[in-house]
Structure 1
Amino acid sequence: MSDLEFSDEEGQELEKKFNEATKFVAGNVTKFNDGQLLTLYGWYKQSTVGDCDGNRPGIFQMAKRSKWDAWNKVKSTPKDEAMEKYIEIVRSTCPEEDLSAVSVKASANSWVSVSTHRQEDDIREEDKTIFDHVQEKNFERFLEALENCTNVNDLDENGLTLAHWAADRGQDAMLSELLKRKEININVLDEDGQTPLHYAAFCGHPKCAKILLDAGADVTIKDSQGSTCLDVACDDAIRILLTK
């Protein structure tokens, strides 16, 4: 079925279901294995951006390479079909769940939760990094690790900073602590050109968005697909914050 075969009403209903599915995945990452998350990433990018372009990342950039492969694999798939595939995977994996009941304030967003590998459950506590503590929302351990963190702008293996992860996870207290550091770059970009404010906006985390805005975050920055944080904002509450 092509995009032209959908009536306006059908297209709107499909987009509604797709958005519900992405929010469900964002808040329930552990229900999906890494293979499913990568597949969902491919369908998500095909649905929202279109065909994959650019060169395949090198062998030493395995995370980026895996994501590129997942996206490129579904190249030429029409947008509506890609959305249907995404919804189908989510429903088949979690058949008993009511996707429409998921709050927009999910704990993570589709960019991160679907585009990166989940943290393995068997990592020993002593081996966890400050990034792990942010992802796990462990504020106490985060504070301990922050004392020994020499540069809060460092990127992890997924190309994200601590501020990106805090905004993604809705950790406003962690974000506030990070902003106390003089070296913090509030407009730092991830591998897709997205700022922490992009993440807070897409996730539906108004507290994080306000903290970033109050600190001077730039709302005009466009990511690699030309989208500002306002373009990706998930609801009216976030949009109002961004347009004040």
Structure 2
Amino acid sequence: MSKPPPKPMKPGQVKVFRALYTFEPRTPDELYFDEGDILYISDMSDTNWWKGTCKGKTGLIPSNYGNLSWLRECLENRVGVNGLDKAGSTALYWACHGGHKDVVEVLLTQPNIELNQQNKLGDTPLHAAAWKGYADIVEMLLLKGARTDLRNNEKKLALDMATNAQCASLLKKRLAQGVVRTSSNAEDYLDDEDSD
């Protein structure tokens, strides 16, 4: 007899993973997927079996078939952390957008991680975390030095996109501290007497 279905996550809280391995189900409630398939996880309340969807089918997925170990393997093999997808987004952007705190933590340990890369919409990882309401990730980005003064293509700051009070409070506090950089600090290095 299979156990009762786990409680679903709040609506809109779907996490996205890439399957590390092919999984052959052993029971009818388990979901088949191939290595590299995208898994949309809607319920992570059971630490061993998640409820999710792949290729339009829903079922149970073993929790150890997802992103974090794949990320570590990529980093160990020196895969660049700042590569852009077709939308101009980095892995850090998507980790922040998806609320994958564990992945964000690993990426932020990389010495050359680009915190402020803007995608084709002008959004940064901070924009994504604020919009999705992940205050813990917003705080991590701010502690690492993410810029709060960058505007997206709609002229919005991350603060303008914050969807909850906690994210807004963190961003307002940082803006009030005056941690705002200009787009270029080249003028600091120019000496009018030496320029032609």
- What's the TM-score bracket when you normalise by the shorter of the two chains? 0.5 to 0.7
Mapped to 1, the partners of 2:96 and 2:149 lie a distance apart of: 18
- Residue in 1 that maps onto 2:69: 140
Secondary structure in 1 matching 2:72: helix
- Residue in 2 that maps onto 1:179: 108
| Conservation of the 8 A alpha-carbon contact between 1:151 and 1:183 | no
Structure 1 residues without counterparts, runs of 5 or longer:
1-100, 114-118
- Residue in 2 that maps onto 1:221: 150
Runs of 4+ in 1 over 3 A off after TM superposition: 101-104, 121-124
- Residue in 1 that maps onto 2:127: 198
Task: Compare 169-178 and 215-224 and name the one that shifted more.
Answer: 169-178
Deviations 1:181-212 (A, max 9, x none): 12111101111111000000000111111110
Displacement of 1:107 after TM fit? 4.1
Asked which structure has the greater CA Rg, the reply is: 2
**What's the TM-score once normalised by structure 1's chain length?**
0.46
Mapped to 2, the partners of 1:243 and 1:199 lie a distance apart of: 16
Mapped to 1, the partners of 2:172 and 2:77 lie a distance apart of: 37
Mapped to 1, the partners of 2:81 and 2:75 lie a distance apart of: 8
- Which residue type is aligned with residue 164 of structure 1? Y
Deviations 1:75-127 (A, max 9, x none): xxxxxxxxxxxxxxxxxxxxxxxxxx9567x346xxxx9xxxxx8x99731x5
Matches within 5 A, 1:111-126: 124-125=34-35
**What's the TM-score once normalised by structure 2's chain length?**
0.57
| Conservation of the 8 A alpha-carbon contact between 1:172 and 1:211 | no
Mapped to 1, the partners of 2:14 and 2:171 lie a distance apart of: 20
1:214 to 1:103, Cα distance in 2 relative to 1, 3 A: farther
Matches within 5 A, 1:93-104: 102=10
- Residue in 1 that maps onto 2:85: 156
1:122 to 1:191, Cα distance in 2 relative to 1, 3 A: farther
Structure 2 residues without counterparts, runs of 5 or longer:
1-8, 19-30, 42-64, 174-196
1:237 to 163, 166, 172: 166
Deviations 1:39-79 (A, max 9, x none): xxxxxxxxxxxxxxxxxxxxxxxxxxxxxxxxxxxxxxxxx
Displacement of 1:150 after TM fit? 3.1
Displacement of 1:234 after TM fit? 0.4
| Conservation of the 8 A alpha-carbon contact between 1:139 and 1:174 | yes
Paired residues, what number?
A: 130
Q: Which has the higher helix share?
A: 1
Mapped to 2, the partners of 1:184 and 1:227 lie a distance apart of: 23
| Conservation of the 8 A alpha-carbon contact between 1:107 and 1:168 | no
